[in-house]
Structure 1
Amino acid sequence: MSQPDITVLYFAAASTATGLTEQLVTLPASQYPLSSLSGFLVSLHPDVGLDKILQSSQWSVNAEMVDNVEEVVLKGGEEVAVICPVSGG
């Protein structure tokens, strides 16, 4: 059985930290909680400050904002966006 892939879209600070705007990520399990994705992405991009960025970011899955990450389970094929807070100036 093949591992499920998702597309992660990085915006603003997350894009700057990873050096990417988009990344195909293979999930470690076929039923993967969105609440665990932060830690997984940080493990793929260690030492760039992504953990702090993700703590204050919101998620969208298939272009829909996620209110409660605990309720979302990724199964593969989703497009997941990291929406960073925008600082005004």
Structure 2
Amino acid sequence: MESKVVTVLYFAAASTATGLTSEKISIPDDGLKLSDLTEVLNQHHEGKGLKGIIETSQWSVDLEMVEDPDRVLLRGGEEVGIICPVSGG
């Protein structure tokens, strides 16, 4: 049986920290709360400062911005974006 995965898209500082623009992350068969994805990604990219970046960022799931990550259950197949704050000038 194939494990469930989500595709994580990294933008701006998150991309710089991980050295990636995207990657597939396995999640439990019973799903994973979006808010818990921070810890999964932090463990996967330990020592790269990703947790601090995520804490100041917003999430998107399938191109929709997420207001409350605690209320979103990932079931596999979703595209999750880490949208970092950007400054303009």
TM (norm. structure 2) is 0.94
SS in 1 for 2:60: strand
Letter aligned with residue 66 of structure 1:
V
Alignment of 1:28 onto 2:28: yes
Structure 1 residue 4: Cα displacement: 0.8
Distance 1:30 1:2 in 2: 13
Distance 1:56 1:87 in 2: 13
* CA RMSD between the two structures: 1.1
| Range with greater deviation from structure 2 (30-39 or 8-17) | 30-39
1:71 maps to 71
Check the 8 A contact 1:57/1:82 in 2, yes or no: yes
Check the 8 A contact 1:56/1:84 in 2, yes or no: yes
Structure 1 residue 3: Cα displacement: 2.0
Distance 2:28 2:53 in 1: 22
1:52 maps to 52
Q: Which runs of 5+ in 1 are unaligned?
A: none
Q: C-alpha deviations, 1:27-74, integer Å up to 9, x for none? A: 134311001000100000000110110000100000000001011000
Q: Which runs of 5+ in 2 are unaligned?
A: none
